[in-house]
Every structure is written in structure tokens, then in C-alpha cells.
Structure 1
Amino acid sequence: MSPITQGLASCELATAFQPVFSLTHGRLVGHEALLRASDADGRPIAPNLLFDGLPDHHARADLDVRAVRQHLQAYVAMGKRDASEWLLLNLHPATLLESTGALHEIERALDASGIRPSRVVIEVLESPLFEDERVYPALQQLRAKGCLIALDDFGAGHSNFERVFDLAPHLVKLDRRVLMRAKQDAKALRILQRMVSLLQECGSLVLVEGIETLQGAHIALTCDADFVQGYYFGRPQPAALAPEDGSEALDAAWSSFDDAQSRKDDRWRESMALHCDRLRLASIALAAGRPMDEACADFLSAPNATMCYLLDDQGRQLDDIAFRDDAARERLQRVEQFEPLHNCSGARWSRRQYFRRAVSFPGSVQLTRPYLTLQGGWMCLTGSIAFELEGRTAILCGDLRVHVPPGEAP
């Protein structure tokens, strides 16, 4: 039986502080306080055993209150009471239920510590209990006191954007499993980039945790995350870092990221340069009166080119569509799952970035991010260019398949 079930008093609690860094500022901005426990014989208790052994919400609330007191006392004992950084404290949603009475004790502990509430981040752990609306008044009370609110483990389990809308957290911590997927899958990395951007547009700062390697640091930089945390930057330890400490790993990550990103950008420009030139020349040929198939032949000769099509100045698709060859046309028609979408005559694409960017920068080829094409059900990116055709603005679009199966290459 866990020592917790025998009595919380039999467990010795200690604090380990793990640093949190701002990627933009390039320095330490806070510490997360992590609970460490040992039994009466001094043997460490694994965190999962410590928390899984609790019999009910009240026991969890009692442990959280003890942990908050321990963390605050340890932090102040290091001379950090007036430090210009955040202290992140974990709370389980069960602790915030009014029936536990824990909120009052937590506020008393905060007041007794002398730490300004604006320096405290209440990090609420992921749990199905978040569905219980009784949790939210306690969080609003802590927010009104001046504390910041953080949502932990976003992207896994029960977390979703509805929770972000309801809670309006100052900070969202992404689950480490999201980072692991992004390391292995380019599609997952693109989703992570958009997730970070959406969270920031919702009014939250974003922290990527669980970073253990340089690759993980590069992913956080690629996604434009605000903060990072993990073994690569600093392990949990009894003493908090000084503000000037721990920046070496961050500096190294920035330096190698800048070099890698520069090389990646160069490769991207080189790989896209020929496509862009051919699409621009196709628009010139169309403006000169050449037929669609003939004007776009060079662009469509690329192995990953699938089709070219014209939009009018309102974004409506015109009838002319040029395919690389008859096989490419037939390949599109064979995708039966998307057959209801094959006929795009008169379709309006004015909301799409390839239309809007082309209209904003006429005469210059624009390229989109990869996306799922409605017509074929595969990932593609679109090049587009606005030009004058018979006295009116037209937009020539060319689709490039992101991945071409070996059997489909000409």
C-alpha cells in the first residue's frame, strides 16, 4: 500500500526546480516546481505511484496543498521572493473543487510566502475533471488575485480548444507526445506549427516541454513557440538557476537553427525556382493568346505537377484546365472517394491564399503551404500568379503534388 494511503504525514516532500526559457529573450524566465517524495525510510517514491495511490479527491487536494507550501518555502529560502521570474505550481483540477476547501489554504500559503501573485503561474493538470464546471470559479478567483493560469498537456487526452476558449489561459503547455510526433512526421510538424499559431491567436503564450535533444529545440524554434522546457535546457534540481545561467544550450540551439534554416530556405528556393519561372512564362504565353495546354506544357512537364487552371478576378474557376497528360487526368478521375468534387467549373476559390496573395502581388508567383487538394485527395501546394488577360485580371494556378509515388513518375 502506498504511504499516501497510510497517511500523508509519513511522506517527506521536497522540491526540484526545472528552468523555463524564453526563446525570444534568450534567457531564463521561470522555474516549474516539481514534487519529490520519499517514504519514512528515505526511499524515493515514483511520482506515478505517489499520485495514483491517492484514494479520492480530498487526498489529492491535501497533497497539492502540502506541495504548494513546500514549493513556496523552498523558493523563498533560496532568496527568490522578489525574483523577476515566474514560479510554476501544479494543481490537479480536483484540488479546485469547492468541496475540498483547498483553494483557501493555497491562497493563505501564497500570502504567507510574500511572493507577488503576478509571479506565480497556476498550472492546471490535464484531467477529465475539467469537464466539471465547478473547477472554473476557483481558477477565476486565482486569476483575480493576480496569478497567471496555465493549461498543461495540451494536445493529448481530454484537452481541446473548447477548454482554451472556456479557460482563456495565459499560457498553454504542449504535451510532450505532440513534440515526439513532430520529430518523426512532417505532417505532424506542420500541424504543430498551426496549433502554436492558433493558440497564440487565441491570446495564449505557448510552451513546448519535454525537449531533450537539439532536434526538439529546433522544432520549438520552427513552430515559433514562446517558451521551452526540458532536459536539453536544464534538468530538475534542488536549487533554482540564476538568471544568467543556462543560456549556453539556448544559444547553441539558436546558432545551429539559424544555419540549418538558412540552408533549408536555400534548398527550398532552388527546388521551387524552376516551377516559379515556368508558371510565370506560362502566364506570359496565355496573355499572348497561346492555348492553355500549350502555354502550361513546360510547367506540367515536372514529375510532381498535376494540373493548371485559371481563375477570374472574383476567384471563380474557368473551364480551361490543363493536365500533364491524359494519364494525369485519368488518375484524378480514378479517385472515386472525391468524385463529387471533381467538377470544379465555376468553383469559387477567392478565400484561398493562392488567390488572395496573387491578387495582392500581381506579376509575382506565390506559393502556398502543403494542403489536401479537394479534387484529388492528396497533399499538394499551389503556385499562382495574377496577370492581365484580355483586359481583365486573371490568376493562373499550378498544383504541385508534395509526394509522388514511384509508380506515378513519368
Structure 2
Amino acid sequence: MTTDTLMPITVTDLHEIIETGAIVTHFQPQVSLKRKAVIGLEALSRGFDGASGEIIPPSVLFGLASDPETRLALDRVCRTRAAESFAALHRRDKSVMLSMNIDAACISEDTRGSNHLLKLIKRCDISPNNVIIEIIESRCEDMDALLEFVRFYRKKNFLIALDDVGAGFSNLDRIPLLKPDVLKLDRSLISGVNEQFHKLEVARSFVQMANRLGCLVLAEGVETSEETMCLLANGIDVFQGFFFARPAPGLDAVPGMADKVDALAEKHRHNRTRRIAEEKRLFSSYDLTILTMCQGLSETPSRGLNQALTQFIDQHEGVECVYVLDMKGRQVSDTLCDPLKLKKSKRFLYEPARVGADHSLKEYFLPIQAGLEKFTTDPYISLASGNLCTTISRVFYHKCCGRHLILCTDMSREDMACGL
């Protein structure tokens, strides 16, 4: 039944739903591709109209709960139905987690110390170790009460997830305060991530932060295999979304999902193996190109450096920009770029550096200063061209002036938009 044909319900109907516990719990799997298993189930609540037999979507259900008392009562009955529905599975399989949404607007000084969730979980004989409390912190009006809530339930061995991360006006400063065990990346960030480098970089930043903080990243709202493969290649292993399964009542295995997971895991293994081999061949060709350029520059008089660099761009496909630094990180040549690859629409952002520019803090210079002969950066957006590139820096001896210099070469890496 769609929301377009749903008979309107009133606040009176809502109170009857709460009093009778007319809530249906649907579960959506949370899938680990590397483990090839469902590791968790998110409980999603829907109302049930006994008279019509219609399912009432959560947007309608919670939209009617405008006052704090009604919102708290609805939140608690939803938790109760979720725990009771999950208890049967927990008795059979102690490895699967239950993710429960908590309305952060209900966490306040008035509810502090009620321990409602703890009592519920104990009554249903569910181990707290198997429960993830999902919180959307942006809805919280009492931060002190929320922090106390999180501290209390973490001590009781519950896990804490921060939901809708990356959506709207998420307050990232709350992450160090709540210290979540799970970061759930919002669908708005996941949608089309395989085609949008800027979205991917934001997702990567959350993965890097999570790795340092010791928490897990879950991609929510995954709808395509391409999104899944892209995120898997960039450090995300746990997924939830329509691509794997829609929310549904019951706890039975989703038909065909195991085959889908196996196929994706095999595809990932194949892609990574192929990519590693391609990277090896690509960087071998880069090394040969850079070595050839360095050998040519070593015999080139200082006044002829710019002309030689221009010739290198013409001769070597994939070279976007080249420039030469001294061993202090100062630029001693112009930055020569392939004019066909410069982003003319963003010249105020992306401008090739000039002679005398200081590169001493750049990622491609510091390893050379530390003693390496050659260094290759991760892909990034070049400030010279505005394109995705990899910078390779290499020391060479300039015979004409009798000193060591550093050749820096920006190689086009548009093939790395998703890192597959």
C-alpha cells in the first residue's frame, strides 16, 4: 500500500496505536562482503491500522507525534516491538547484531535514569553486546543528557552508532564527544559515489578518521553494485540498502542475497588483483618516463629547462604538468602544463606555480628532504591543472650547474576516480 492511497490517520489514531502496541517491525540486513555474511539487522518500525490492514509508514507515524510525551511513548513502543521480534533470532544465532534507532529528542533530563532500554533488553534475554543504539545527534536538544545516556549504555556493553553522518548539517564536532563505535554514512553521500570524486573523497575521509578512532563505517542506502564496489575498494566493508534487501517483516534469509554477496566478493577480488597488476605496469612505465626525463635534464643548461620540459609534455602522454625544484623546495623552472588539460573555468583556484614558489611543505617534497630519491603521491586534485593527478618527484644531478635538483611530474589519474 503506497502513501498516496493510505487513509489519513489522526492523533487519536496514533494514541490508539501506541496503547495497543500496533507496531510492525521490519528488518533490513547489514552485510559484510569480506565476511560474506549478514552481521546485523536494523529494526525499522511501521504502524499497523487494524481496521484497514494498512501499514503506516514511519514518516506519517512519527510526523503525528509532535509533543514530547507522545514522541517518547511511540519511541518506546517501537523499541519494545523491535526487541521482542529480534529475541527469537538471538536465541538461534548469537552473532547477529540488532540496530535500534533511538529518537534523540526523547533523551532529556526528564528521561535520564529510566533505564528503559536496558530493562527491555534484559527482559527479552538479548545480550547488550548484540545491540547497536543508533542516534541522530542533530535531533538532540539536551546534549548533557545525551552524553550521559551514551556513557551509561556504553558501560553496559551496548554499541553506539551515529546515524546520517554526512547529511545536511551534521555536527562533526559531536563525533569526538560521542565516540561512536559505528559511523553510518547517509544515502545523500553514498548516491552516485562511484561517479563523483568529491563525494568519494568525503567518504574516504570518514574511513580514514574511523580507522584512527577505532570505529566501523557502514554505508547506508546502497542501491547499485557500482556504488558497493567503489566503496569496498576504498575501505568500507559493511553495507545496508535496497541493493541487498528492502526492509521486510520476519527474520528469514533474503532469497538470492547470498549469491549476490558471493558474486560481489569474487568481483572485488578480481578487480583488486587486476588493479594491482595494472598499477605495477603503470608505475613501471612512469618510472621509465621520469628516468628518461631526468637523464635529459641532467645535460640541459639552466636556461633551456623550460624548453626541455615543454618537449617532455609533447612526447609523453599522460604528463599534465612538470616543474623543477632545488633541494630546499624552491621552484627553479616554470610550471609547464598541457594546455588542453587546464581547467580554464577555474583559473582563480588552479594556477601553475611560478619560479621561486616555495614547495617545502608539499607532500611530494618532504619525503625527498627526508632522504628518499623518489616519491609518488596518492591521487589528488592538482592546484596546477585542477585535474586528478599523481605527482612523482625524483632527484637528479644537474651536471651543468653541479648540484642536485628535483623533477616533479603531475601524471593524469582520472582512471582513479573510484580507485577500482
CA distance in 2, matches of 1:227, 1:200: 14
Q: Residue 318 of structure 1 aligns with which residue?
A: 331
259, 263, 266: which is aligned to 1:255?
A: 266
* Deviations, residues 200-220 of structure 1 (Å, cap 9, x unaligned): 223321001212321122122
Instruction: Give how far 1:144 is off.
Output: 1.2
Task: Give the deviation of 1:380 after TM superposition.
Answer: 4.2
Correspondence 1:218 to 2:232: no
Superposed counterparts of 1:64-143, under 5 Å: 64-80=75-91, 83-100=94-111, 103-125=114-136, 127-129=138-140, 132-143=143-154
Residues 358-378 of structure 1, C-alpha deviations (whole Å, 9 max, x = no match): 5679555625302240x5655
Does the 8 Å contact 1:279/1:299 carry over to 2? Answer: no
Q: Deviations over 1:32-67 (max 9, x none)?
A: 122132023132101110111102222222122112
Residue 56, structure 1, aligned to residue 67, structure 2:
yes
The one-letter amino acid paired with 2:27 is: F
Q: Which runs of 5+ in 1 are unaligned?
A: 404-410
Report if the CA contact (8 A) 2:367-2:375 is conserved. Answer: no
Question: How far, CA to CA, are the matches of 1:320 and 1:79 in structure 2?
Answer: 67
Of 11, 19, 23 in structure 2, the residue corresponding to residue 13 of structure 1 is 23
Structure 1 Cα separation of the partners of residues 106 and 234 of structure 2: 33
- Counterpart contact for 2:90–2:96, Cα < 8 Å: no
Cα contact 1:304–1:400 (8 A) shared by 2: yes
1:167 and 1:119 map into 2 onto residues whose CA distance is 19
Q: Is 1:220–1:228's contact at 8 Å kept on the other side of the alignment?
A: no
Higher deviation after alignment, 144-153 or 108-117: 108-117
- Structure 2 SS opposite 1:73: helix
How big is the shift at 1:199? Answer: 2.7
Q: Is the contact made by 2:136 and 2:164 (CA closer than 8 Å) also made in structure 1?
A: yes
Quote the residue 1:368 is aligned against: 378
Match of 2:5 in 1: none
The residue number in structure 2 matching 1:34 is: 44
Task: Tell me whether 1:23 sits opposite 2:36 in the alignment.
Answer: no
Shift of 1:322: 4.9
Q: Secondary structure at the match of 1:99?
A: coil
Correspondence for 1:197: 208
Inter-partner Cα distance in structure 1 for 2:365 and 2:407: 9
- CA–CA distance in structure 2, aligned partners of residues 84 and 319 of structure 1: 61
**TM-score when normalising by structure 2:** 0.81
Classify 1:90/1:228 alpha carbon distance in 2 versus 1 (closer, same or farther; 3 Å): same
In 2: Cα distance, 1:180 partner to 1:372 partner: 25
Match of 2:162 in 1: 151
| Partner SS state of residue 387, structure 1 | strand
Shift of 1:188: 2.1
Residue-by-residue CA offset, 1:83-125 (whole Å, 9 max, x unaligned)? 1221111101022223145842212112222222111110113
What percentage of residue pairs aligned between the two structures are identical?
A: 25
1:386 equivalent in structure 2: 395
Q: Is the 8 A contact 1:121 1:148 kept in 2?
A: yes
- Aligned CA-pair RMSD: 3.5
SS in 2 for 1:114: coil
**CA deviation profile, 1:71-92 (whole Å, cap 9, x unmatched):** 2212223453761221111101
Partner residue of 1:292 out of 301, 305, 313: 305
Q: Which amino acid aligns with 1:30?
A: G
Amino acid at match of 1:308: V
User: Would the alpha carbon gap of residues 265 and 358 (structure 1) be closer, same or farther in structure 2, given more than 3 Å must change?
Assistant: farther
Contact kept in structure 2, 1:278 and 1:299, CA below 8 Å:
no
Partner AA of 2:68 in structure 1: H
Cα separation, 1, equivalents of 2:98 and 2:349: 52
Following the alignment from structure 1 to structure 2, what is the Cα–Cα distance between the partners of residues 350 and 277?
A: 27
- Is the alpha carbon distance of 1:282 and 1:78 closer, same or farther for their aligned partners in structure 2, counting shifts above 3 Å? closer
Quick one: distance in 2 between partners of 1:324 and 1:84?
Answer: 56
Q: Which runs of 5+ in 2 are unaligned?
A: 1-9, 415-420
Query: For 1:397, what is the secondary structure of its paired residue?
Result: strand
Give the Å deviation of 1:295.
4.0
- Count of residues in Structure 1 that have an aligned counterpart in Structure 2: 397
